[in-house]
Amino acid sequence: MPIQTVASQRLYQQVAGQLGELIRQGEFLPGDRLPPERDLARQLGVSRPTVREAMIALEIAGLVDVRTGSGAYVRKAPSSGVMPFAPPDIGPSPFELVAARRLIEPEVAFTAAGCMHAGVLAGIAETLDLMRAGIDAGQGVQAADRLFHTRIAAATGNTVLSAIVEQLWDSTFEPIFEGLSRRTGLPENQRAALAGHIRIFEALERGDAVGGRDAMRAHLAEVETILMAEDWPAPASAPQSATGTD
């Protein structure tokens, strides 16, 4: 079965489904290395982030192993059957999620800068301390990471904005995002995330709306860069829901 072009607007589940079907039909056998992400993206007519998400879906389904600096290898074929292989629904696209955050959270920071007072600043500063403590202890920091962003949203006084940011963060606990982020929740990436948070906090502390927006934009751009690192590191040893680079 030759690889078929997939329209760019399709979700990673369709890409994973086509790759899973190729594995089932013997185009790729157990132990085979799948083509590099860039090659698959070109052949399938989708972006490299979509291919990366598809690999996570296949890994969660138990069909492939993604190995450090080496690539994705077939672990087993899907069960035979009359219906094409269909990966389970494991959450929204992580890269679409980050893209949505890049549209929304900088403006949230801009608005929040005009709403700062001692109590709010103390609450946000507390999340920085929690994140430092987690990093120093070699633990996951996703809870503190989430709290930083949601407290900034709450500071705007706009319950709709706050609910949107809460919902975006809830999506980071879906299996596909956790599968992606556990490979990036390493100490150096956690420290980079903390540094980004500190820059955002300092702008908010000054009441610098433009600076807060710019710092949030830079922070989320860095998150996206980390998620799309050319060579994936090994999965972090922390539980999947305990990582934090956002």
Confidence of residue 230 (pLDDT cuts 50, 70, 90): low
pLDDT in tens, 148-192: 999 999 999 999 999 999 999 999 888 988 888 777 767 788 999
Closest CA to 130 of 147, 118, 116: 147
Q: How far is C-alpha 192 from the geometric centre of its chain's CA atoms? A: 15
In the three-class reduction of DSSP (H, G, I as helix; E, B as strand; rest coil), residue 212 is classed as: helix
Token pair belonging to 225? 């860069």
Token pair belonging to 202? 């300092």
In degrees, rounded to 5, the angle at the alpha carbon of residue 218 between the alpha carbons of residues 150 and 104 is 45
H-run or E-run covering 64:
strand 64-67
What is the biggest distance separating any 2 CA atoms in the chain, rounded to whole angstroms?
Answer: 63
Work out whether strand 64-67 and strand 71-74 pair parallel, antiparallel, or are unpaired: antiparallel
Output the 3-class SS for 65-80: EEECCCEEEECCCCCC
- Region of 62 on the Ramachandran plot (φ > 0 left; ψ -120 to 50 alpha; else beta): left
Q: Other C-beta atoms within 10 Å of 88: how many?
A: 12
H runs (alpha helix) in 86-158: 94-112, 118-136, 142-155
Distances (CA, A) of 98 to 65, 118, 136: 25, 30, 26
- What's the whole-model pTM score? 0.81
Confidence of residue 242 (pLDDT cuts 50, 70, 90): very low
pLDDT in tens, 99-138: 999 999 999 999 999 999 999 999 999 999 999 999 999 8
Token pair belonging to 125? 């500063």
Distances (CA, A) of 143 to 96, 127, 180, 244: 21, 9, 17, 8
Domains defined for the chain, CATH in brackets: 12-74 (1.10.10.10), 94-242 (1.20.120.530)
